[in-house]
């Protein structure tokens, strides 16, 4: 068993109606059910999670939510609690840059969400990443450290095999992918920050993913980097053939 099982997660964002979503889950279940050595996580829109859960019964593919609210229940119109997701999904994306930048999610919100998800036994996929201006100003590592430390506020330990996704904002949905060297450098810094804040064992087992314009064509060189433990895929995760090819490329790059 490798120290870190690689992860390929598909963030469908706000795409696909019910029937096409069911078709995509079914196609991926059939195409990827036999793939070993890679954890595959599908993150469809919230209304289709229950359908996806039923379609994936008995399949090794995992399910993730794109969003969560930290309160367990109450008068919070439109929100979905961790308690409602538990039992349906194993993973929850937290801190995605679209939540941070379009919906004003603050660093302290990510901490509340992270704790709510952990308390209910699910795995957070904590997304962090710098803006273009921050990279150009040489602030990338400072931004990543701030986002990580804020999300871990009050946390004594991070569960083994936790997932952090490094997604530079300038690479999301733009077709501009970070070079493998840039992504490796940032992911290695993320792992070092995990060690600094928790311990070496946590850092060694923590899965650090890269996200931002990942495709079947560019994934192999990214996944070949030692500190990149997989990918969080947006646009290309909506295409069964492309996403399947990405999963196989990660498995091959990691010797799975």
Contact pattern from residue 146 through residue 175 relative to ligand 13P, giving x for each residue in contact according to CB under 6 A and a dash for the rest: ---------------------x----xx--
- Give me the residue whose beta carbon is nearest to ligand 13P: 234
**Cβ at position 43, least distance to ligand 13P in Å:** 8
Q: According to CB under 6 A, which one of 6, 8, 11, 112 is a site residue for ligand 13P?
A: 11
Choice between 6 and 211, CB closer to ligand 13P = 211
**Residue 167 known to be catalytic:** yes
Question: Binding to ligand 13P (CB under 6 A): which residues in 194-213?
Answer: 211-213
Q: Does 214 participate in binding ligand 13P (rule CB under 6 A)?
A: yes
Q: How far is the CB of 82 from ligand 13P (least distance, A)?
A: 19
Pattern 234-253, ligand 13P, x by CB under 6 A: xxx-----------------
User: Quick one: three-class SS letters along 182-239?
Assistant: HHHHHHHHHHHHHHHHCCHHHHHHCEEEEECCCCCCCHHHHHCCCCCCEEEECHHHHC
3-class secondary structure, 139: coil
**Is there a contact between 251 and 38 (Cβ–Cβ < 8 Å)?**
yes
Cβ proximity to ligand 13P, 98 vs 202, nearer residue: 98
Smallest gap from Cβ 58 to ligand 13P, in A, equals: 27
- Interactions with ligand 13P, residue window 59-118 (CB under 6 A): 96
CA–CA separation, 90 vs 56, rounded Å?
Answer: 12
Residue pair 124/155 in contact (Cβ under 8 Å)? The answer is no
Burial of 102 (0-12, 13-18, 19+ CB in 10 A): exposed
Shortest Cβ 42–ligand 13P spacing (Å): 12
Catalytic residue among 98, 105, 167, 225: 167
In the complex, minimum distance from the CB of residue 165 to ligand 13P, in angstroms, rounded to a whole number:
7
Of 97 and 202, CB closest to ligand 13P: 97
Length of the chain: 256
d(CA 110, CA 96): 9
Judged by CB, which is closer to ligand 13P: 172, or 202? 172
| Interface mask toward ligand 13P for 218-237; x: CB under 6 A | --------------xxxxx-
How many angstroms separate the Cα of 115 from the Cα of each of 85, 88, 149, 191, 215?
A: 14, 18, 13, 20, 32
Minimal distance in Å, beta carbon 156 to ligand 13P? Answer: 28
Specify whether the CB–CB gap between 233 and 8 falls below 8 A.
Answer: yes
Verify whether residue 96 is a known catalytic residue.
yes
> CA angle, corner 193, sides to 190 and 196, nearest 5?
155
Tokens coding 235? 């646009």
Q: Comparing C-alpha atoms, which of 47, 42, 41 is closest to residue 18? A: 47
* Contact positions vs ligand 13P (CB under 6 A): 11, 96, 167, 172-173, 211-214, 232-236
- Residues tagged active-site: 96, 167
């Amino acid at each position: 068993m490798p120290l870190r099982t690689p992860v390929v997660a598909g963030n469908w964002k706000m795409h696909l109606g019910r029937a096409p979503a069911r078709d995509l889950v079914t196609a991926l279940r059939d195409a990827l059910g036999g793939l070993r050595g890679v954890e595959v996580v599908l993150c469809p829109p919230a209304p289709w999670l229950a359908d996806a859960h039923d379609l994936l019964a008995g399949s090794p593919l995992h399910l993730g939510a794109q969003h969560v609210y930290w309160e367990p229940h109450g008068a919070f119109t439109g929100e979905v609690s961790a308690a409602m997701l538990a039992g349906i999904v194993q993973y929850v994306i937290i801190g995605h840059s679209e939540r941070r930048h379009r919906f004003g999610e603050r660093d302290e919100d990510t901490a509340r969400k992270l704790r709510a998800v952990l308390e209910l036994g699910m795995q957070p996929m904590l997304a962090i990443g710098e803006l273009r201006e921050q990279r150009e100003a040489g602030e990338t590592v400072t931004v990543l450290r701030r986002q990580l430390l804020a999300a871990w506020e009050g946390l004594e330990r991070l569960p083994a095999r936790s997932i952090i996704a490094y997604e530079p904002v300038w690479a999301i949905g733009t077709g501009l992918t970070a070079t493998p060297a840039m992504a490796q450098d940032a992911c290695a810094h993320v792992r070092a920050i995990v060690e600094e804040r928790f311990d070496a064992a946590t850092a060694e087992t923590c899965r650090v993913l890269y996200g931002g314009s990942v495709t079947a064509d560019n994934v192999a060189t990214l996944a070949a980097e030692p500190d990149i433990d997989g990918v969080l895929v947006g646009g290309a995760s909506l295409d069964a053939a492309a996403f399947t090819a990405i999963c196989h490329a990660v498995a091959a790059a990691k010797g799975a």
